[in-house]
Structure 1
């Protein structure tokens, strides 16, 4: 039996896919809503179903989180005590990493090798935040003209709504859950209906390690209950990753009641190639990062800006590299790129490709559903050349394996083109000269600038965007700041623990 058929024939190991995790126990839905069908993106077949939450289910989850924060011990534990739960979560996730990798591959389409590597990195994030229990300045003593002892204390922000998309749900949830739990917040985690598997495994681990009731509550629902979660006055903070369109609506809803929010949104990230750099190296980088998640990555470098006298040469190189990519079953070790996650995603990507052709860009490679793959939501990796900077495919997030090559007159023009979209998430500059790289990096309007590669540092330094790509930062020590409120405490004498 092949590796793919072996994994697909293995029974789903989820213990309670028909229930929600609320107040420390698995709870049956209060509404008679049809379950969500989760589809294997490579076979187009249903491989499990999960419960769908209604308004009463979401209300119960919010109430449990509010109760645990207002009346439980969780916010008042020492940070080191909460850190031990994070370490146990890391151990539990590491033990079930193969299972979670299979879920991610089947739901979203990355190769199994990539999924396995990614699942090994997730526990490291929980361990990183556990280490912050000792190193983060939770209490910062200061001077006061009115009191003998003064300090600014980092208090937990309260009840957190964590909302994640389907493309990398476990990783994106981690950047919310780990700092939220460490700081003493309680959480309502809303799962993506298309890809809940890994997060249900995480929930089972949370139950196993004895996370106190109400600290983590997990439901799966559609837009209606998501809006309910965002608007509920019992929720103090919203951590959202998803489209810029939805992010704007969340910002408005949160602002109406001055709730805190962090938004990690869409991108149309630019790679600025200067005239001194090896084009073959650029082509290798762009190909590798684009096929790794079938382009379903908000930080993908989907606009490559090259000097106009090198444009044709680079288009030929990148087109050849994309054409050589082997598409197929993501469990096959020979496969370099799997399918996109859903039929609607495949349809949307193909429509964007048609728009690119219609608006006059040159289709260099790809552009179709591969003829040899009749099942699965596959799209050929696609390269456009001679793309106008204002064209639809150069301005809108496609969220698929489509790259636009845009010619530039000079370095200043390249920077202007790179900054000429509503987005500002990720970017890169390719040059052998670090001084030129620094010069360009300082002028790019993006949350991250990588030198000679696709570089995103979420674990140690944090990640986020500017303009319509987001608000605030996740990851690193900055990620903790998103889940605390500073409180100034002025006392007539120092508490014993600070003497």
Structure 2
């Protein structure tokens, strides 16, 4: 295939030569072939990006000072430009990280324009200041202002959707952004830059610097940055939190998960099998909120194991660009090695492999792992406690709802989860007892109108919903003279 090549970085509203000749070489997850090259940003490039964002934010007549309706017009142009490039965005993501193309059309093509318009609408539909009567005779004016220059660091698993969890509320609120995409998925990020340029976003409002962890650390500690928003591993999140804590810098952290899918004794999994797949094995298992611990009642344990095993065996594994593919490759050889090491650990700990566990026999290229199910898993086993980030499910037995709740909560994480039952009221009552930032009943989806985020080791803060917008705003109070009340 024709290589996708960029030789410049998108900084300060245009394409500029990088500070060094270093490059990021991108490979196809399905074929392992070299598919593209982009510049690898240096600290000098990152400094230039932050400086551009700082100038754009501090401009008295600039983006932050625009009325929400005026910003909404620019954001709408951006959304349209993204839609015009949507099919190619989905294709590039599938090529890079193995996401099935049918899912990429939903997450990477459809979601970014949707969430841009949602947050832009929140800003235009809601007053950004209010006057409150005081208890001491005066009044107070409370004003919501953009927080400033935002560093957004995004992972490779759902790169465009996660980018716009941060970019949409930041832009709508009047912030300027320096985005660092993951090295594994940079081709889609630079296509997004083309959309930003076509939309005529003002200079410095959006700047993109591809690079690795060291570049991210430089940006997180940069003295001219006002806020950091990070999605990634818990280990990296802790380091970022430590830096931001010392700097007293606001930070949003959406981190790992090891969520529970609780199957109650009245559940009909076969009827809901597509929703169950979406909540447990979507995107080749490379989503942080997936319910990879399946808790099943002992009275129906063998049946649930058989159903989950049958689901895994039925999945169409293959070329992520093929419309019918349900399970593609993992993002890299390193990620495949990681997942295979967990499968080996599960076997060593005595769990029973019911399907999968190896590489597909009919695929001699690409970083594939078979959809894998373990039965007879103890909740204390490594595969039940650590995030694997691959197509591996652990089916864990329980004897009562009390035990199911205890097992679900016996985790360092608290990001997602689901409850499967014929009685939605019963399901919601149980969901309220689970220590998780989000949880679904007979399905799971991140709706733009509701806050998404975790508790415990799954992070700090929330994205999406009005709460996601508030994360990019700061409050100012003006106390008014009582004599003017």
Give the TM-score range, shorter chain.
over 0.9
Superposition map of 1:34-433 within 5 A: 35-72=23-60, 73-118=62-107, 119-144=109-134, 149-281=139-271, 283-433=273-423
CA distance in structure 2 between the partners assigned to 1:335 and 1:434 by the alignment: 31
Q: Is the 8 A contact 2:336 2:367 kept in 1?
A: yes
Q: Which residue of 1 aligns with 2:426?
A: 436
* TM-score normalised by structure 1 residue count: 0.93
**Shift in Å at residue 471 of structure 1?**
0.5
Q: Is the 8 A contact 2:276 2:442 kept in 1?
A: no
Q: Is the 8 A contact 1:147 1:491 kept in 2?
A: no
CA distance in structure 1 between the partners assigned to 2:342 and 2:414 by the alignment: 21
CA distance in structure 2 between the partners assigned to 1:312 and 1:202 by the alignment: 47
**Shift in Å at residue 145 of structure 1?**
5.3
SS at match of 1:443: coil
SS at match of 1:405: strand
Please tell me the root mean square deviation across aligned C-alpha atoms, in Å: 1.8
Match for residue 472 of structure 1 among 436, 456, 461: 461
Match for residue 490 of structure 1 among 462, 466, 479: 479
- Closer/same/farther in 2, CA of residues 283 and 388 from structure 1, 3 Å limit: farther
User: How many aligned positions are there?
Assistant: 483
CA-to-aligned-CA distance 1:381-429 (integer Å, 9 cap, x gap): 0000110001000000000000000000100000000011100000111
Q: Which residue of 2 aligns with 1:20?
A: 9
More off after superposition, 218-227 vs 284-293: 284-293
SS at match of 1:294: helix
SS at match of 1:383: strand
Q: Is the 8 A contact 2:281 2:290 kept in 1?
A: no
CA-to-aligned-CA distance 1:151-179 (integer Å, 9 cap, x gap): 21111111100000001111101011111
Please list every run of 5 or more consecutive structure 2 residues that lacks an aligned counterpart in the other structure: none
CA distance in structure 2 between the partners assigned to 1:19 and 1:147 by the alignment: 59
Q: Is the 8 A contact 1:448 1:456 kept in 2?
A: no
Q: Which residue of 1 aligns with 2:446?
A: 457
Q: Is the 8 A contact 1:423 1:467 kept in 2?
A: yes
Please list every run of 5 or more consecutive structure 1 residues that lacks an aligned counterpart in the other structure: 1-8
SS at match of 1:364: strand
CA distance in structure 2 between the partners assigned to 1:449 and 1:290 by the alignment: 13
**Shift in Å at residue 71 of structure 1?**
2.7
* TM-score normalised by structure 2 residue count: 0.96
Q: Is the 8 A contact 1:291 1:336 kept in 2?
A: no
More off after superposition, 108-117 vs 392-401: 108-117
CA-to-aligned-CA distance 1:343-380 (integer Å, 9 cap, x gap): 11111111100100110001011000111100011110
SS at match of 2:300: helix
